[in-house]
Amino acid sequence: MEVEAATLAALVPSWSSVLLLFSYLGYLAFAALVLPGKVVPGAVLPDGSRLRYPCNGLLALFLLLALMVTGAYMEWMSITVIADKGLELLSSTFIFSLFVSLVLYAAGSSSRSQSSSLKPHVTGNFIHDWWFGVQLNPHFMGVDLKFFLIRAGMMAWLLINLSVLAKSYLAGTVNISVILYQIFCAVYVIDYFYYEEFMTSTWDIIAERLGFMLVFGDLVFVPFTFSIQGWWLLKNEVELPKVAAAASFLVFVIGYRVFREANKQKYVFKKNPKADIWGKPPKVIGGKLLASGYWGISRHCNYLGDLILAFSFSLPCGASSVIPYFYPIYLFILLIWRERRDEARCSQKYKEVWVEYCKLVPWRIFPYVY
């Protein structure tokens, strides 16, 4: 009972957690506007327009890490502040995401814009419109909000992990499981920012409207639940045999390769449909769809790679509990659902070309299984 009361008390947002959250978001907005970076044109929208995305996330991340390390060294802040305020930050971010989604709903519904990115799609069902959003690409003071929120969530995941790692270090519980988990996630997040421009052609950016689902998903769900393994390892010591550590590493490398290469192949193909895939001219269907490389193995081999990667993030935690497996289980459900939605979208967009692609590449995600 006492533990439950303490947890509930820790969930009450404090002013310092609100300040921390706003400082973080303020820094990211400032960084997005002023830091140099490649400006990448987004997908062509139905009205022929294209948004432009400044991809300076990697620089923003490294600069923030440098500022935080300096702050901790100068004793202006504690290196474990994020982990120490974990629950307060969770509730503050949740309340903030509720607020943002309501503002997005109100501003979006009253917009008179007819452009593809801002035209409101209002069904009249408040829950539906608030949940899924009404505008495709709303922006604020020149910052594309969807791109910004995804960036905020991915970066926060790494910051939470590093703060938990610092706590582990101070508690003397750093072991091979902690090191592997931390390395795998850090590589994934840094890789995300290294290839941030690839994000401009993904489903979230090109097809999903910005409502509570994405705001909550990016700001709350990604950083606070994807880091569960780190928190779990703080409380549970795992003695990982060397062979299990090596197997986790191998699974990570395989997952990373499939995930990164599949996404890269599609991105390169969209830019130059004649570019070689695996050293050969690409197999193209109807001049529009790539059917070679990973895209000839299954129709969403990138999801397969991501699922293998997600599994590798949990393997260092061993098999004594299902809790560290939350992320791969969640991702499995999400990607199966998303693949169905993407399939419906592509089938409507590409019509008989999509039918031909499905005949040639019958597997949705897992070759010979699904």
Question: H helices then E strands: how many in the chain?
Answer: 16, 6
Segment interacting with ligand NDP, rule: CB under 6 A, options 139-147, 200-208, 238-246, 313-321: 200-208
Is residue 50 involved in binding ligand NDP (CB under 6 A)? no
**Contacts (CB under 6 A) with ligand NDP, residues 204-243:** 204, 206
Token output for 282: 């690409």
Nearer to ligand NDP, 240 or 291 (CB): 291
Is residue 303 involved in binding ligand NDP (CB under 6 A)? yes
The DSSP call for residue 289 is E
CA distance 87 to 89: 5
Q: Contact 239/173 with Cβ under 8 angstroms?
A: no
CA 352: distance to chain centroid? 32
Q: Given candidates 80, 92, 177, 263, which one binds ligand NDP under the rule CB under 6 A?
A: 263
Task: Mark residues 313-332: x for contact with ligand NDP by CB under 6 A, - for none.
Answer: ------------------x-
Is residue 151 involved in binding ligand NDP (CB under 6 A)? no
Nearer to ligand NDP, 238 or 290 (CB): 290
Complete DSSP assignment for 312-352: HHHGGGTTS-SGGGHHHHHHHHHHHHHHHHHHHHHHHHHTH
Q: Contact 292/361 with Cβ under 8 angstroms?
A: no
Segment interacting with ligand NDP, rule: CB under 6 A, options 60-68, 76-84, 108-116, 300-308: 300-308
Torsions phi, psi for 49 (to 5 deg) = -80, 165
Nearer to ligand NDP, 13 or 282 (CB): 282
Q: Given candidates 164, 289, 315, 317, which one binds ligand NDP under the rule CB under 6 A?
A: 289
**Contacts (CB under 6 A) with ligand NDP, residues 89-108:** none
Segment interacting with ligand NDP, rule: CB under 6 A, options 19-27, 61-69, 101-109, 289-297: 289-297
Is residue 197 involved in binding ligand NDP (CB under 6 A)? no
Q: Contact 137/118 with Cβ under 8 angstroms?
A: yes
Nearer to ligand NDP, 26 or 286 (CB): 286
* Measured torsion, CA atoms of residues 53, 150, 251, 342, in degrees rounded to the nearest 10: -80
Q: How far is CA 328 from CA 11, 160, 174, 324, in A?
A: 26, 19, 23, 9
Is residue 202 involved in binding ligand NDP (CB under 6 A)? yes
Residues of this chain that interact with ligand NDP (CB under 6 A) are: 43, 201-204, 206, 259, 263, 266, 269, 289-290, 295, 300, 302-303, 306, 331, 334-335, 338, 342, 345-346, 349
